[in-house]
Amino acid sequence: MTTEGAEQEINGEATDLAGNKTIASAAVSIDKTLPIVTASSSPEPNSNGWNNSDVTVHFTASDTISDIDTVTADIVISTEGAGQSVSGTASDKAGNSATTTLSGINIDKTPPDISINSPEAREYLASESLTLDFAATDNLSDISATQAMLNELPVTNGQVINLSAMEDSYTLTVQANDKADNSASKSITFTVMSAKSLKNGAVTKLNNAKTGNRKIDEPIDQAIRSINDSLDEGLWLDSSHLVYGPKTDWLRDMFDQFGKHGKTVEDKDIDDENRIGMQSPPGARNGITVFHHEMWAVMFLQAKLQFFGKVIPIMERQIEIKQSRGHDVSKEQAELDDIKNALPVFQEVISDLVEADMILAQVAIDDARNKPVANPIMAKIVSREIEMADKGFAQAMDAANRGSSAISVIQFGHAWFHAQLAIKFAAFEERP
């Protein structure tokens, strides 16, 4: 009997020695065919062939003839890894068994790792340069996409961010996906301190330092007036850029003048600050006046610092004497305390103003350096102005380090002015 089939009837005939015949029949089931077993996984992998959660492998078996007896139960794979495989077996009732293997199971449950090296979570000056430096790496399936936004603006790794027109708070958010669709996101918030916000902050500090005592409030009011003059909206392009005037194109006029007289422009002609005017014509709005106002504010405060520096020991001595005579010194003591409390604020405001001017000068110099020169003949003149600006800047820093704050402010003004000249010369195109 070789034919497969269930309940096959077989008739057998037996004859004994006496010649009796018996016919017997039996049902015979034969199954030689292996079951068919298939495996399927869920959830299905994504289009990259990866899962990001446990994968359940289910085995389905079918059999001809004798039917399925056992089949491997569902196998849950929870381990991360690429190229995993599992096998399942099915047996039919005739004891035939078959095995199948499902391979190529890729599981990655770990989100990418994002690092942000730059920016740092700190305060930047608007004059600083910021190069974005971030990276996304993945443990297993690899990064499929990285996106970064600086507030609402899409940015890329290595991008240089110009802080000079920025102020307040910014957030860089880096978001990355791996090939298994795990996603991660990391944010860094930093702030940008602009020249304008330093000055506004200085005004606030001074207002808060008022005591109701005329001796302190008067210099404070004087300083605030000067700072507020320097904050005149008409002098500012944005939070760290000043207007450069006069509005009339004096440079073109100057070249026309030279043209008329058949001369050529030489370095010495444009090197003379007096000739082309550190001072703007009447009514012209020019950022240089910001430095002038600032210088006055610094000088008021410095003068008061020096004055009170001398007065404090005298006041202390008077209080001592009065006290020794048994007089009430509470009024004198209160005034002395007010003065002593105000002086550190004066000092702080002076350094804020110097720093604001440093930002203005640095931003202008950077602008000048980055400005392409439209007319090659001007290149030498432009680079000379930048040189002058650098020199003024270095002198301003020296003065600031020596504690000569007013001189520092003036030198930053010079640096700013020469940077503006460089920008102006760089933009100059010869008239056809």
Looking at the Cβ atoms of 110 and 157, the one nearer to Ca ion is: 110
Among 4, 6, 30, 33, binds Ca ion (CB under 5 A): 33
In the complex, what is the shortest distance from the CB of residue 48 to Ca ion, in angstroms, rounded to a whole number? 11
Looking at the Cβ atoms of 105 and 209, the one nearer to Ca ion is: 105
Establish if 184 lies at the interface with Ca ion (CB under 5 A): no
Residues near 141 by beta carbon (within 8 Å), at least 6 away in sequence: 48, 50, 82, 106, 108, 178, 179, 180, 182
- What type of residue sits at position 79? T
Establish if 63 lies at the interface with Ca ion (CB under 5 A): yes
Establish if 338 lies at the interface with Ca ion (CB under 5 A): no
In the complex, what is the shortest distance from the CB of residue 179 to Ca ion, in angstroms, rounded to a whole number? 8
Q: Site residues for Ca ion, window 296-335 (CB under 5 A)?
A: none
Looking at the Cβ atoms of 33 and 211, the one nearer to Ca ion is: 33
Establish if 31 lies at the interface with Ca ion (CB under 5 A): yes
Is omega for the bond preceding 43 within 30 degrees of 0, making it cis?
A: yes
In the complex, what is the shortest distance from the CB of residue 106 to Ca ion, in angstroms, rounded to a whole number? 11
Among 72, 174, 178, 352, binds Ca ion (CB under 5 A): 178
Q: Which residues partner with 40 through β-bridges?
A: 58
The answer to whether residues 280 and 288 touch, using CB atoms and an 8 Å cutoff, is yes
Q: Which pair of structure tokens corresponds to residue 411?
A: 């030198």
Looking at the Cβ atoms of 95 and 283, the one nearer to Ca ion is: 95
DSSP letter, residue 136: E
For residue 186, which of 236, 142, 146, 159 has the smallest C-alpha distance? Answer: 146
Looking at the Cβ atoms of 138 and 338, the one nearer to Ca ion is: 138
- Count of Cβ atoms closer than 10 Å to residue 154 Cβ: 9
The stretch among 57-65, 192-200, 224-232, 357-365 that binds Ca ion (CB under 5 A) is: 57-65
Establish if 138 lies at the interface with Ca ion (CB under 5 A): yes
The answer to whether residues 158 and 131 touch, using CB atoms and an 8 Å cutoff, is yes
Alpha-carbon distance 416 to 291, whole Å?
Answer: 9
In the complex, what is the shortest distance from the CB of residue 38 to Ca ion, in angstroms, rounded to a whole number? 15
The stretch among 59-67, 207-215, 221-229, 400-408 that binds Ca ion (CB under 5 A) is: 59-67
In the complex, what is the shortest distance from the CB of residue 42 to Ca ion, in angstroms, rounded to a whole number? 21
Q: Which residues partner with 175 through β-bridges?
A: 147, 185
- Count of Cβ atoms closer than 10 Å to residue 320 Cβ: 11
In the complex, what is the shortest distance from the CB of residue 34 to Ca ion, in angstroms, rounded to a whole number? 6
Among 130, 140, 176, 350, binds Ca ion (CB under 5 A): 140
The stretch among 16-24, 33-41, 149-157, 410-418 that binds Ca ion (CB under 5 A) is: 33-41
The answer to whether residues 302 and 354 touch, using CB atoms and an 8 Å cutoff, is no
Looking at the Cβ atoms of 141 and 200, the one nearer to Ca ion is: 141
For residue 127, which of 360, 314, 371 has the smallest C-alpha distance? Answer: 360
In the complex, what is the shortest distance from the CB of residue 407 to Ca ion, in angstroms, rounded to a whole number? 59
- Count of Cβ atoms closer than 10 Å to residue 267 Cβ: 11
Looking at the Cβ atoms of 93 and 322, the one nearer to Ca ion is: 93
In the complex, what is the shortest distance from the CB of residue 99 to Ca ion, in angstroms, rounded to a whole number? 14
Query: Interface mask (CB under 5 A) for Ca ion, residues 82-121, using x and -?
Result: ----------x---------------x-x-----------
The answer to whether residues 257 and 383 touch, using CB atoms and an 8 Å cutoff, is no
Looking at the Cβ atoms of 94 and 301, the one nearer to Ca ion is: 94
107 phi-psi bin (left φ>0, alpha ψ -120 to 50, beta other) = beta
Looking at the Cβ atoms of 140 and 161, the one nearer to Ca ion is: 140
In the complex, what is the shortest distance from the CB of residue 188 to Ca ion, in angstroms, rounded to a whole number? 22
In the complex, what is the shortest distance from the CB of residue 178 to Ca ion, in angstroms, rounded to a whole number? 4
Looking at the Cβ atoms of 3 and 11, the one nearer to Ca ion is: 3
Rounded to the nearest 10 degrees, the angle between the axes of helix 379-402 and helix 330-370 is 160
Alpha-carbon distance 384 to 377, whole Å?
Answer: 13
| 332 half-sphere exposure, CB direction, 13 A CA radius | 16
| Contacts with Ca ion, residue ranges (CB under 5 A) | 31, 33, 63, 65, 92, 108, 110, 138-140, 178
